Structure 1
Amino acid sequence: MSQTSVNNSGTVSVTAQGGEASSDNGYAESYAQVWGLSSVGDVSNSGAISAAATGGTTQTASESEYGLSWTEAYGIYSDGAVLNSGDIAATATGGTADAYLDAYAEARACGIRALAGVDNSGAISVAAQGGTASSDISFADHEAEAYGISTEGDVRNSGAISVTSAAGSGISTTGYDTYGYAEASGIEAAGSLTTAVPFR
């Protein structure tokens, strides 16, 4: 749900499955995107949140354009501040991109994303798995990014945070570059950080 501000104490479970897209003469894109709670204002949450997205499949034919399979999952996404005591699980599993030109099969997952400060005492579990990218004549990108908490503000955390990220697989038939970058971060804050529980 998305509104000016959110105050939630109930259980939230959301899933998304990307579809299939193919093209003989143009590009092909497939998206799987989920947000447990989304707000342009502040968020206060004490309920358990589960957000899971699985990427779809794209295919482009000879002399066509790029193929993109994009997957992302957020437990809480806020343009304001976040106060959270609920447990959060966010999982993004990349799909498949088979393209004549550029191929992208990327995944991103984040427990809490906020533009302002975050105060968290809930357990956060995040996992991102890059997809499978294959290109006939160009590069193949199969990256994964995972963040427990990401904010432009300050963070105060006393909850356990577990984050895993793994790149997928990629091949370029002509031997062009493939990108298998994986990034995992427990807490990423532009402001100050206070934590009572180690993240792993």
Structure 2
Amino acid sequence: MERLCVSEFYSQELDLSDLVRLREAELPWKVAACSLRRLGALEELTVTRWRGTTRSALGVKPALRRLRLEAVPTVVISAEGAGLFPELSELRLYDGRLTRSGLLAGAQQLRSIALLSTKTDSVAFAAALPHLEHLELENSGDIGTLAPLADHPALRKVLVTGSTRITDGDLNPPADNPRLTVIAVERGHKHYSHRPAEVRRGI
């Protein structure tokens, strides 16, 4: 078996450790929590109802390219363990709160990061990811600064949407980066250096 999809409403734990050829999986956390560490051949993984505290709970995944975690809203997720996924190019997190986000820099091949209702207070990790092209911050709470996006060599698309708010108000880092082909700032605030329309690009 190379592909497995289990409904998020399924609640019994399954022993999947014999599925050594599994390449793609969509699994509820409760179903797969004890087996995920042994599924080392996965290339694409979605975990629904995620309740893990660190991504190291997934185990070493040398071939993993796409990871999607749909967390329970109250869960605090540490970025610890990013280095276990050396080929990871796309990360999508839904809900919960991301802590120690700087550790995302351990996944050096990341090209796309989307934090969708996942709260974080920093995007400092972006500066340490040389291949990052896409950064999406939707309903991500108060972000201290966008300074790590200044002069990024690979970044092409930045979306700041929903309730995400930039605390220092400085929108110059994305606005002054000529490499960015798409910039979206959905909501303005009085303390912002620019109105959203002034930095919008490619929308």
> TM-score under structure 1 normalisation?
0.40
> TM-score under structure 2 normalisation?
0.40
Judging by fraction of residues, say which structure has more helix.
2
Higher relative contact order (CA 8 A, sep 6+): 1
Judging by fraction of residues, say which structure has more strand.
1
